[in-house]
Structure 1
Amino acid sequence: MSETGDIRISNDVVATIAGLAAIETPGIAGMSGGISEGLAKRLSGKNVQKGVSVEVGKLETAIDLRVIVNYGSKIHEVCKNLQTNVKESVMSLTGLSVVEVNVKVEGVAFQEEVTETLQRVK
C-alpha cells in the first residue's frame, strides 16, 4: 500500500484493453467466443471481452486469448505479433506486468466470412 492508497484495476478493464489490442493486430479476423458458440458467432469491436480471460493481481496479470486468424496468414507470426501487441498495450495503459499472453487459435476465416461478419455487426 502506498501513502495515498491502493490502485486496483478490474479484470474487465484489462480484458477490454487486451481485446482491442488483439483485434487491431494484422492477421486476426476476430475474437472467438469459444467453440461451443461456433464460428458463426465470431466477434469484433462491439464485444471485445469475448475470447479474453484474464487474472489480475496487484502488480501483474496473465491473459488468455481465443482468436480467429485470417486464412493465408502465417499463424505463428500472427500469434507472436498478437502476444507482443497485447503485452505492450496492457503494460503501457495499466502499469501491470504481463507475465504471460496465451493464445489459442480456434479457427481460420476466409475473406468472405470476415466481410459478412463485419456487415452483420454494424
Structure 2
Amino acid sequence: MPDLPPLTSETLWAILNDQLDDDTTNRLVWDALGYRYDPATEAWDTSAVAPEWRETYPTPPDFIESRPATVKLTRSIPAENKQLLKETLGFGGYKVNELVPRLTRRATMTNWLLSHLQVQGQLETL
C-alpha cells in the first residue's frame, strides 16, 4: 500500500502511543495480512489473504472499531509471540485509567505486527 510508514520501532511506538492515525494503523495490518486495494476496479484484491481472513472479512476490517476482528487478530498470534510487546519494545502496558478499547486494540495490532515480523524472520531488523 502506498504511503505506509516502515515497520520500525518508532512506528510501532506511534501506534501504541495513539500518535499514528487510525487509517494508517489499520492499513499497516491490512497490508501485512495481504489486502491490496485496486484503484482501477475500486475493489479489494484478497488473493494474498489467508482463507480464514478472506472468508470472514472479504474487505479489511477496522480493527480499532471491531472487537470481533481484534479478537481474531489476537487468536492468530502464536503463543510464543504473545509477549513480544514486552520482550521487544519493553512495553509495560497501559495505566488503569488508559485501559480503553481503542488503546488495547492498538496494543493488539502492534503485537500482531511484531509477531508478523517474527514469523517473516524480520524482527531482528527493528
Q: Give TM-score scaled by structure 1 length.
A: 0.25
The structure with the larger Rg is: 1
Q: Which has the higher helix share?
A: 2
Whichever structure has more strand as a proportion of its residues is: 1
